[in-house]
Amino acid sequence: MAPDDDGLAQVRGWIADADRIAVLTGAGISAESGSPTFRDAQSGLWAKFDPARLASPEGFAADPALVWGWYASRRDGVRQAQPNAAHRALADWAAVHRGRLAVVTQNVDDLHQRAGSRDVIRLHGDILEDRWFDTCRRQERGEPPCDPASARAGEPPTCADCGNRVRPGVVWFGEPLPVAALDAAEQAARRCALMLVVGTSGAVYPAAGLARTARRHGARVVIVNPHESELDDVADLCLRGPAATLLPRLLA
């Protein structure tokens, strides 16, 4: 059911009043760019692929070629995707209302950045980045680490010196989030007067906990999602609909 005009008008008022807004985004904001989500029943990646084999350090250690190949095809998808009206609405609003909006994303694509958003806080890394799977031996000796770009071609590429393997720069299950990004996200959640939670199931922590933090610190929380999410209980209002339709209407 599309949200009624009263709900949209109410949220527009909250946006106008908020000195600081944090936006927590998930895979759903990129769905209308053609990128699959993770947990949608039919089309989600986890409906077809096993996250334990493909999105964990144990899975990579067990079958690096399988994991590398899967990420190579997802990287192609990310490169081909284009930002949609939801990414653009956030970037355009922030450009006009400088310093008022922080985008915190769980997404590993670069669609917020390509739409023009700046200083995006990336909780789960960057799928287009390469990094070493193990700590580089040179780094362990306190020397500058080897550059993954100079790894010997292969699936995955390996270090000619020590055999270390290249992996995508994403955060897998059981791995810590980048400390600086998580700190910045928690600060944004604590300080905001309004948090928009857009296109996430709210199933993955610590990211999902940011909405609860915002609420605990007195912020209003609004969810933009066509379906129910695990964060609906913290929301002041749930706007049920697709992000690329609703965000332009909220932020016009």
Residue bearing tokens 């999602």: 225
Query: What is the CA 210 to chain-centroid distance, rounded?
Result: 13
Catalytic residue from among 112, 124, 217, 227: 124
Nearer to ligand BJW by Cβ, of 203 and 237: the residue is 203
Question: Counting contacts by CB under 6 A, is residue 247 touching ligand BJW?
Answer: no
How many other C-beta atoms are found inside a 10 Å radius of the C-beta of residue 153? Answer: 7
**Contact flags string 62-101 toward ligand BJW, x per CB under 6 A:** ----------------------------------------
Nearer to ligand BJW by Cβ, of 102 and 204: the residue is 204
Spell out the SS3 assignment of the chain.
CCCCHHHHHHHHHHHHHCCCEEEEECHHHHHHHCCCCCCCCCCCHHHHCCHHHHCCHHHHHHCHHHHHHHHHHHHHHHHHCCCCHHHHHHHHHHHHCCCCEEEEECCCCCHHHHHCCCCCEECCEEEEEEEECCCCHHHHCCCCCCCHHHCECCCCCECCCCCCEEEEEECCCCCCCCHHHHHHHHHHHHHCCEEEEECCCCCCCCCCHHHHHHHHCCCEEEEECCCCCCCHHHCCEEECCCHHHHHHHHHC
Nearer to ligand BJW by Cβ, of 213 and 225: the residue is 225
* Binder among 166, 243, 250, 251 for ligand BJW (CB under 6 A): 243
Determine the Cα–Cα distance for residues 212 and 218; give it in Å rounded to an integer: 10
Nearer to ligand BJW by Cβ, of 151 and 207: the residue is 207
**Contact flags string 122-151 toward ligand BJW, x per CB under 6 A:** --x--x------------------------
Nearest residue (beta carbon) to ligand BJW: 28
Q: How far is the CB of 136 from ligand BJW (least distance, A)?
A: 19
Q: What residues contact residue 141 under an 8 Å CB cut-off, 6+ apart?
A: none
Question: Counting contacts by CB under 6 A, is residue 109 touching ligand BJW?
Answer: no
Q: How far is the CB of 50 from ligand BJW (least distance, A)?
A: 12
**Contact flags string 25-64 toward ligand BJW, x per CB under 6 A:** -xxx--xx----xxxx---x----------x---------
* Binder among 73, 176, 179, 180 for ligand BJW (CB under 6 A): 176
Q: Please indicate whether residue 217 is annotated as part of the active site.
A: no
Which residues contact ligand BJW by CB under 6 A? 26-28, 31-32, 37-40, 44, 55, 106, 108, 124, 127, 170-176, 199-201, 203-206, 224-227, 229, 242-243
Catalytic residues: 124
